[in-house]
């Protein structure tokens, strides 16, 4: 950055109405507390020079600097690194303002709790809508109907759950049934802390129910109550066997990937489709390979504006534009480039789309009414099915 640009930015920053030096000066002048002494006249002269030097005719000069805070779940690091750069260029070209980002990543549940406890995110991009529902319910920082603010229930991209195995697939793992075999070490994160881990769990649960019922719609048929009860008991046993094969519960999807790929623990990793492709790209296909199960769950990670904090930061318009841009042509191309399934396939290069496996996908509402029921039935402390089966394993 040139000395002139430094001078311009410093001067422009001083001139912003929200800056303390200018507020003090204006207060003093207009309250009549100080006379226009030589010193004050000198300061005003310098400001005029700054304004002149930083006139809009200079193509290198930009306007105010804004900061946007996006609190996100773990595997989106690479996605938002590129997307943030693209959005910053778009915003600067349309609003003549620099946007800088405070980007935070971690397990989705952990990130949601941080916002609930006061982390002032302008935007949250988490693994599941239940985590954003919890923020809305416990803080009131965004409305309960936040999913109506953007298309597709505020989910600009989707994913699903797949497996990674060692090169050559030495354990012959091809589907969910193989994960409950004796002697198979399964790596999957803790569903109490990671959103991706909950999708993993529910994908396995849905498979177990489907293997017994054939058609998941029977879950909503009162005439199938007996078969549903038997299938539910089978699914509980299936989940118990699966987690008895898990040697370590990491806190997030990325931590589980590191355990499997870098620490070389486990025979199979259950993970996001996008995370599996990331691991293949980073580690090389000479170490691990992708296995697509016969059926999995449609995962819809949502993005939302946290109205209270965005307003406090004077960022509401900026935050809404940021989320909107995820649905733009460029946003959708970046999404697909990083192995997330785009909503608007027509604007994405075909070579990106052909990477996504064609498999049978069920939705969360095919197995529970929504995330509230999933939380109560499966993940609630002590009484949820996960705690029951995992506690029994520990005992």
pLDDT, position 91: 98
Give yes or no: residues 236 and 143 share one domain: no
pLDDT tens for 261-295 read: 999 999 999 999 999 999 998 887 689 999 999 99
Considering only 33-37, 179-183, 205-209, 345-349, which range has the smallest mean pLDDT? 33-37
Q: Are 166 and 334 in contact (CB under 8 A)?
A: no
Note whether 233 and 369 are same-domain residues: yes
Distance CA 225, CA 231 (A): 10
Report pLDDT digits (tens) over 61-84: 346 899 999 999 989 999 999 999
Position 13 pLDDT exceeds 80: no
Would residue 59 count as lying in a domain?
Answer: no
Q: What is the pLDDT of residue 56?
A: 38
- How much is the pLDDT for 45? 45
pLDDT (tens digit per residue) in 304-332: 999 999 999 999 999 999 999 999 999 99
Q: Is residue 29 part of a domain?
A: yes
Question: What is the C-alpha separation between 288 and 267, in angstroms, rounded?
Answer: 10
Question: What local confidence, expressed as pLDDT, does residue 12 receive?
Answer: 39
pLDDT at 63: 65
User: Is it the case that residue 40 has pLDDT exceeding 50?
Assistant: no
Q: What is the domain count for the chain?
A: 3
| Structural domain of 210 | 161-297+363-394
- Assess if residue 186 is contained within a domain: yes
Name the most confidently modeled range: 7-11, 69-73, 250-254: 69-73
Residue 266 backbone dihedrals phi, psi, to 5 degrees: 95, 160
Instruction: Report the Cα–Cα distance between both ends of the chain, in Å, rounded.
Output: 62
Q: What percent of the chain has pLDDT over 90?
A: 77
pLDDT band at 31 (very low <50, low <70, confident <90, very high): very low
- Report residue 392's pLDDT band, with 50, 70 and 90 as the boundaries: low
Which has the minimum average pLDDT: 43-57, 58-72, 335-349, 370-384?
Answer: 43-57
* Average of per-residue pLDDT values in the chain: 86
Do 261 and 167 lie in one domain? The reply is yes
217 and 187 in a common domain? yes
Res 30: pLDDT: 36
Residue 348 in domain? yes
- Asked if residue 198 and residue 83 are part of one domain, the reply reads no
- 251 and 239 both lie in a single domain: yes
Please check whether residues 349 and 377 belong to one and the same domain: no
Q: What's the whole-number mean pLDDT along residues 227-241?
A: 97
Is residue 124 situated within a structural domain? Answer: yes
For Cα atoms 109, 110, 115, give the angle at the middle one, nearest 5 degrees. 95
Is the domain of 116 the same as that of 238? Answer: no
Are both 166 and 308 inside the same structural domain?
no
Q: Are residues 210 and 311 in the same domain?
A: no
Q: Is the pLDDT of residue 117 over 90?
A: yes
CATH number, domain containing residue 266: 3.40.190.10
For residues 124-138, give the mean pLDDT: 96
User: What pLDDT score was predicted for residue 129?
Assistant: 96
Say how many C-beta atoms besides its own lie within 10 A of residue 202's C-beta: 25
Between the ranges 86-90, 276-280, 353-357, where is the mean pLDDT highest? 86-90
CA trace torsion 239, 245, 249, 253 (10° rounding): -80
Give a yes or no: residue 16 inside a domain: yes
pLDDT (0 to 100) of residue 390? 85
Q: Are residues 210 and 105 in the same domain?
A: no
Q: Domain check: are 215 and 247 in the same one?
A: yes
């Amino acid at each position: 950055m040139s000395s002139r640009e430094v001078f311009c930015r410093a001067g422009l920053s001083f001139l912003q109405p929200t800056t303390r030096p200018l507020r003090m000066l204006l207060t003093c002048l207009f309250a009549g507390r100080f006379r226009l002494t030589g010193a004050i006249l000198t300061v005003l002269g310098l400001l005029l020079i700054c304004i002149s030097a930083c006139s809009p005719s200079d193509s290198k000069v930009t306007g105010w600097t804004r900061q946007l805070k996006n609190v996100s779940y773990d595997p989106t690091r690479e996605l938002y690194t590129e997307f943030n750069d693209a959005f910053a260029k778009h915003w600067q070209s349309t609003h003549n303002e620099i946007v800088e980002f405070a980007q935070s990543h971690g397990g989705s549940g952990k990130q949601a709790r941080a916002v609930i406890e006061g982390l002032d995110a302008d935007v949250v991009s988490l693994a599941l809508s239940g985590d954003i529902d919890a923020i809305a319910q416990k803080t009131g920082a965004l409305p309960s109907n936040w999913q109506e603010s953007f298309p597709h229930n505020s989910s600009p991209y989707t994913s699903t759950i797949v497996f990674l195995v060692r090169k050559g697939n030495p354990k012959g793992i091809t589907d969910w049934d193989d994960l409950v075999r004796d002697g198979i070490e399964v790596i999957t994160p803790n569903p109490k802390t990671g959103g991706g881990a909950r999708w993993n769990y529910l994908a396995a649960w849905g498979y177990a129910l489907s293997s017994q019922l054939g058609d998941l719609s029977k879950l909503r048929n009162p005439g199938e109550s007996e078969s549903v009860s038997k299938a539910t008991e089978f699914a509980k046993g299936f989940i118990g066997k699966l987690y008895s094969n898990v040697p370590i519960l990491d806190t997030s999807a990325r931590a589980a990937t590191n355990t499997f790929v870098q620490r070389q623990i486990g025979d199979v990793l259950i993970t996001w489709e996008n995370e599996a492709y990331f691991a293949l790209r980073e580690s090389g296909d000479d170490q691990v390979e992708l296995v697509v199960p016969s059926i999995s769950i449609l995962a819809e990670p949502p993005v939302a504006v946290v109205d209270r904090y965005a307003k406090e930061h004077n960022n509401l318009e900026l935050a809404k534009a940021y989320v909107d841009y995820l649905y733009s042509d460029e946003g959708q191309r970046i999404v697909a480039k990083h192995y997330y399934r785009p909503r608007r396939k027509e604007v994405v290069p075909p070579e990106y789309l052909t990477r996504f496996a064609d498999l049978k996908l069920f939705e969360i509402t095919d197995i529970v009414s929504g995330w509230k029921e999933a939380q109560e039935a499966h993940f609630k402390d002590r009484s949820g099915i996960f705690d029951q089966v995992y506690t029994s394993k520990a005992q």
